[in-house]
Structure 1
Amino acid sequence: MENKTLYYEFVPAEGNVTKPDPEKTALLVVDMQNQFVKKDFGDARIAKEKGMWDSWKYFYGRLENTVIPNNKKLLDFFRKNKMEVTYGRIACYHKDGRDRSPVQRRPGWNNILLPVGTYAAEIIDELKPLKDEIVVEKTTDSVLYGSNYERILRNMGIECVVCTGVVTDQCVASTVRSLADAGFEVILPEDCCCAATKELHDAELTIMNQIYCSVTSVDETIEILERQLKNI
């Protein structure tokens, strides 16, 4: 992604070249859950019932046509090359949600009640985790702050995280920022993510690029990793 912010206009293009070690790189799929992603369930059904479906057509169209297929492409690549695959998902432990963070109790779209074990909380079938892949539960936007995910990465010697999922300007952005602050290198394939509108998506990417992550495409991400795999 071309950087257009004033902060980095003086940085040469080669100054932002990412060269992750595939053996120390993990894929993190964020909140690709039935509640948020399915077109006939959860938030989509609520939008239809409230007569708001037209406002959400972009979001669900991008999920179906771009984000889900590209996440599947990345998953297949990571699994084929025996690279680490992880998931973060919103799921509270109490059925009444009293263990949720204040962020996930606010009125409106962010009032999220997804108890562990419910269908709504599960990762969509298209991206379903394999038995040996790590899934962490969180009751915050950031995967790091809401779970022991950082400790898991440290235990496995992970240094770089390829982050995908929904939504770009909330849980994905919070996760990317906290990963960067914790010292991890972060790659964000923008066509594996989605926000409610294209404007929100693009604005968040422009803000995060270079300082918090390297914004790429799915094909660029795979090309970067393939190049590094040849060096192993």
Structure 2
Amino acid sequence: MEDTLYYSTNSSGDFVYPIKKESTILLVVDMQNEFVLDDFGDAAKFKEEGTYAQWIPFYERINQIVIPNNQKLLSVFRKEDMLVSYARIASFRTDGRDRSPVQRRPGWNNILLPKSTYGSQIIDALKPMEEDIVVEKSTDSVVNGTAYVQLLNNLQVKTVIVTGVVTDQCVATSVRDLADRGFNVIVAEDACAGATMDVHEAELKIMNHIYCDVMSTAEIEKLVGELNE
């Protein structure tokens, strides 16, 4: 354990697991044009329906907090040559027949984003680089229906730091599934967003110290700095 520089702690402050540079990966969840841009996709639909006003706090948080903090984490990971990955909702068929039932269900979660469409792409502000891992999912969880866990095992990853949208859906299901598969999970609370702050904060409170450790971007930056001292 001499090369271990940091241990996550549980709610009692006890040391739980070691975190190391070479076995840690960043996972950016669903930061796609459809969901994140305030002049396209969901936002455009809300404006057409006349319901955009209630979504203004969400898009303000995305633009002012979530995107900048994702950029900070991506910059740190790339500077230190650490692993970076993305998950995006993207169906292989244009008719969406390959989608999971939950993503075909009428209502809020009825999502059809063929993989080649503009809406399915990661936003330019967080654009993946050539060496980054990008997995396409037709499910809420990055674990189900993708080879993500196999890739992490091949890379000998032990710790996954998660960001993205939305906190209580694709982020939370991914966190829980990764934890169940034996990974140590950290959620960057200020690099995520839920439909409302109440939902966002409630979900993080439920998951913290059970499925993950909830930390701020600044705390994670400090952690990565300690890993590389």
Question: Which range, TM-score by smaller chain?
Answer: over 0.9
Q: Paired residue for 1:83? A: 82
Q: Match of 2:75, as an amino acid?
A: D
Aligned ranges 1:115-154 → 2 under 5 Å: 115-154=114-153
Match of 2:67 in 1: 68
Name the counterpart of 2:161: 162
Residue of structure 2 equivalent to 1:5:
none
Secondary structure, in 3 states, of the residue corresponding to 1:74? helix
Gaps of 5+ in 2: 1-9
Contact residue 160 and residue 187 of structure 1 kept, 8 A: yes
**AA aligned opposite 2:222:** E
TM norm structure 1: 0.92
Residue 184 (structure 2) aligns with: 185
Q: Write out per-residue CA displacement over residues 97-116 of structure 1, whole angstroms, 9 at most, x where no aligned residue.
A: 01000110111221100001
Q: What's the counterpart of residue 105 of structure 1? A: 104
Alignment of 1:9-20 (within 5 A): 11-12=11-12, 14-15=13-14, 19-20=18-19
Give the counterpart letter for 1:94 in structure 2.
Answer: R
Alignment match, 1:50: 49
* Aligned equivalents of 1:163, 1:17: Cα separation in 2: 19
The residue correspondences of 1:32-51 to structure 2 (distance < 5 A) are: 32-51=31-50
RMSD value, Cα:
1.2
Aligned 8 A contact 2:11 2:209 in 1: no
Structure 2: distance between partners of 1:65 and 1:164: 15
**3-state SS, counterpart of residue 14 of structure 2:** helix
| Counterpart position of 1:176 | 175
Distance 1:175 1:147, change over 3 A: same
Contact 1:19 1:228 in 2 (8 A): no
Read off the aligned partner of 1:212 and give its amino acid letter: Y
TM superposition shift of 1:11: 4.4
Equivalenced residues, count:
220
Measured after TM superposition, the shift of residue 15 of structure 1 is 1.9
What is the CA–CA distance in structure 2 between the aligned matches of 1:117 and 1:11, rounded to whole Å?
43
Higher strand proportion: 2
* Correspondence for 2:6: none
TM superposition shift of 1:19: 4.2
SS in 2 for 1:192: strand
Residue of structure 1 equivalent to 2:3: none
String of CA shifts for 1:159-200, please: whole Å, max 9, x gaps: 000000000000000000000000000010100000000000
Q: Give the residue type in structure 1 aligned to 2:25.
A: A
SS state of the match for residue 163, structure 2?
strand
What amino acid maps onto 2:149 in structure 1?
E
Instruction: Determine if contact 2:136/2:146 at 8 Å carries over to the other structure.
Output: yes
Match of residue 228 from structure 1: 227
Q: How does 1:199-210 map to 2 (within 5 A)?
A: 199-210=198-209
Q: CA deviation at 1:17?
A: 6.5
Separation in 2, partners of 1:111, 1:70: 28
Alpha-carbon distance in structure 1 between the residues aligned to 2:189 and 2:11: 21
* Consecutive unaligned residues in structure 1, runs of 5 or more: 1-9
Amino acid at match of 2:167: T
**Which structure has greater helix proportion?**
1
Question: 1:18 deviation in Å?
Answer: 6.2
Aligned-pair identity (%): 55
